[in-house]
Amino acid sequence: MRLTHLLVLTALFVGCSCQYTHGYFNWLARIMGYSRYYSNRYYGTEPEPPLATNCPAECTCPSIFPRAMYCDTRRLKYIPEVPARMKYVYLQSNQIDAVPDGVFDNATHLVWVVLHWNKISSDKIGANVFSKLTSLERMYLGHNNLTKIPFPLPKSLRELRVAGNKISTVQPNVLEGLDNLTKLLLNDNELEDIGGSLRVLKSLSYLDLSNNHLKKLPEVLPDSLHQLYLDFNHINSIPNEYFQQFPKLQYARISNNELTDNGIPLNTFNVSNLIELDLSHNKLQKIPPVNENLEHLYLHANKIKEFTVDSFCRTRGLISFSKIQVLRLDGNSIKQDNIPQEVNSCLRQARIINI
């Protein structure tokens, strides 16, 4: 086994107990730096990396990972000059309130820009400060004072985190051209309706819209979705065959909303691709029918009074049964002695059933 793999496995086992000065991102960078350096030295393909000679005084640039600049948690009110060699810049947990044009002009090959937990407002972001970063893959702008998603953004972007801001609308054109974006975090904002503004994200796999003010499900979303999080909103109904448009969707969370039986059409969740469905903390009085392929179903903290086996198994037999492994029905009005005997043949793969 190569030394790179050994170091990564060791990090996974001991990561929980280790403490590093600059937190998670520094830990990740250290692992990447050490493994890359020693692996290459072991095979004789790379000499010892040179010491960083042009690092800003406010930051740290470890020689073991010379393309990373750590400026996090230093009470900075501005972005220091970024050397041209840098690919990873960590500026989180400061007091930065602006990202002016030109601040990254020396380092246009940046791959990660980490700016979460600052005081950045939308009107203090330069018009083209991010679009010049043509290699940028991950941008972290969560927990600032943004009222809108920055525009324009580089087409290379794969992950965008703008959670914990004050964004109330997503303009129709702001995400156009981001064909490589796979992960978008818009949770903990002030969104009431996003319409069809996300339909242009052709590769989007992970979408978090939780903890907003949504009263209905987004009209149109990319059919590439794999994970969808809509918990802690005000959604009270689901359009007929809504989930049929997402053939790759496996994880859906709509907990802590205002869903009722009347707001869920009969076959809403009868889609074979879903593996996990969370409908907890709503106002359901019945168990909605689900597909036999579903493995995890969370219905706790509703108003359900009856355990209906037909919700899981339309037919029952040697080869016809539900694949449910975890079922939570606690916090409802179902009594243990009212559970029908057929549940044993229907939910024969269940490991956890909480009533």
CATH at 310: 3.80.10.10
Q: How far apart are CA 263 and CA 261, in angstroms?
A: 5
Given a cut of 70, whether residue 39 has pLDDT beyond it is: no
Instruction: Tell me the sheet residues that pair with 112.
Output: 88, 138
Helix (H), strand (E) at residue 55 = none
Task: For residue 158, give the DSSP letter.
Answer: -
Domain membership of residue 129 (yes or no) is: no
Strands (E), the chain: 68-70, 88-90, 112-114, 138-140, 159-161, 183-185, 206-208, 227-229, 251-253, 276-278, 296-298, 326-328, 352-354
Per DSSP, helices labelled H in the chain are 3-14, 23-42, 343-346
Residue-wise pLDDT for 70-98, tens only, equals: 999 999 999 999 999 999 999 999 999 99
Which domain does 44 fall in, by range?
1-48
Domain membership of residue 163 (yes or no) is: no
Quote the pLDDT of residue 42.
37
> Average pLDDT, stretch 95-123?
97
Quote the pLDDT of residue 336.
82
Domain membership of residue 298 (yes or no) is: yes
Quote the pLDDT of residue 342.
87
Check: CB of residue 335 under 8 Å from CB of residue 307. Answer: no
Please state the pTM of the whole predicted model.
Answer: 0.84
Domain membership of residue 100 (yes or no) is: no
> Average pLDDT, stretch 34-52?
42
> Average pLDDT, stretch 5-22?
40
User: Coil, strand or helix: which one is 242?
Assistant: helix
Domain membership of residue 83 (yes or no) is: no
Cis ω for the linkage preceding 154 (within 30 of 0): no
> Average pLDDT, stretch 267-277?
96
Mean pLDDT of the chain: 87
Q: Specify the number of domains making up the chain.
A: 2
Name every residue whose Cβ is closer than 8 Å to that of residue 192 and which is 6 or more positions away in sequence.
Answer: 168, 212, 213, 214, 215
Check: CB of residue 112 under 8 Å from CB of residue 130. Answer: no
Domain membership of residue 209 (yes or no) is: no
Q: How far apart are CA 86 and CA 113, in angstroms?
A: 10
* Structure tokens belonging to residue 282: 């709503």
Domain membership of residue 185 (yes or no) is: no
Quote the pLDDT of residue 318.
66
Domain membership of residue 86 (yes or no) is: no
Quote the pLDDT of residue 21.
37
Given a cut of 60, whether residue 267 has pLDDT beyond it is: yes
Rounded to the nearest 10 degrees, what angle do helices 3-14 and 23-42 cross at? 160
Given a cut of 50, whether residue 155 has pLDDT beyond it is: yes
Given a cut of 70, whether residue 11 has pLDDT beyond it is: no
Q: How far apart are CA 17 and CA 11, in angstroms?
A: 10
